[in-house]
Amino acid sequence: MKKPLTAVVMGSDSDYPVMKEAAEALKKFKVPYEVRILSAHRTPNEVAEFAASARKRGIRVIIAGAGGAAHLPGMIASYTELPVIGVPVPIGVMQGEDALYSIVQMPKGVPVATVAIGNAWNAGILAVQILGAGSDPLLDEIHHYKEKMRSEVLGKKL
Ligand code: RP5
């Protein structure tokens, strides 16, 4: 595996069934990534260390998913200048509404780009688009991906 350009981080292994979609999207575009389990509440020191050193290790975009109080994406964004994409993971009685509000309500100056509840695939695609902003071939691949979606929708028969 090449040196990772993207990190897919989640608060618990119980988030993996949702978060693996982000990894699938990165794989589709051949973007090298690493996957980590780090918890804002259970392993706060390791989260800080990971986020503060990510750029030095060559990471360019971080995808972070969490459920419930969901402080992981925001906490990572506090420790790094890299763009962070947050994924609200649906768990418990609130099924991700709690996580969505937590992730999207970052204070001025510390943004986290937030995708829909459970839509880790879109986090992966957005990460490719961010990486692709400096690379025309990667943006061309996104263009083809969108064209394919367009023809799939137009080709649907009821
Ligand atoms: C959050 O708590 C995690 O992101 C996960 O969504 C949730 C529950 O974690 P577990 O109790 O399943 O480890 O921090």
What is the tally of structural domains in the chain?
1
Dist CA 79 CA 4 (whole Å):
19
Q: Which domain holds residue 137?
A: 6-154
Tell how far the Cα of 92 is from the centroid of ligand 1, in angstroms: 10
The CATH number of the domain holding residue 70 is: 3.40.50.1970
Ligand 1, atom 6: closest residue by C-alpha: 67
* Residues within a 6 A CB radius of ligand 1: 10-12, 14-15, 39, 66-68, 89, 91
Does 84 map to a domain?
A: yes
Does 109 map to a domain?
A: yes
Q: How far is CA 56 from the centre of its chain?
A: 19
pLDDT of residue 1: 61
Task: Lay out the sheet containing 113-114: strands in order across.
Answer: 33-37, 6-10, 61-67, 84-89, 113-114
Per residue in 39-82, pLDDT (tens digit) is 999 999 999 999 999 999 999 999 999 999 999 999 999 999 99
Per residue in 9-50, pLDDT (tens digit) is 999 999 999 999 999 999 999 999 999 999 999 999 999 999
Dist CA 19 CA 121 (whole Å):
8
Does 1 map to a domain?
A: no
Does 126 map to a domain?
A: yes
Query: What pTM was estimated for this model as a whole?
Result: 0.96
Per residue in 74-114, pLDDT (tens digit) is 999 999 999 999 999 999 999 999 999 999 999 999 999 99
For the chain, the average pLDDT equals 97
Does 150 map to a domain?
A: yes
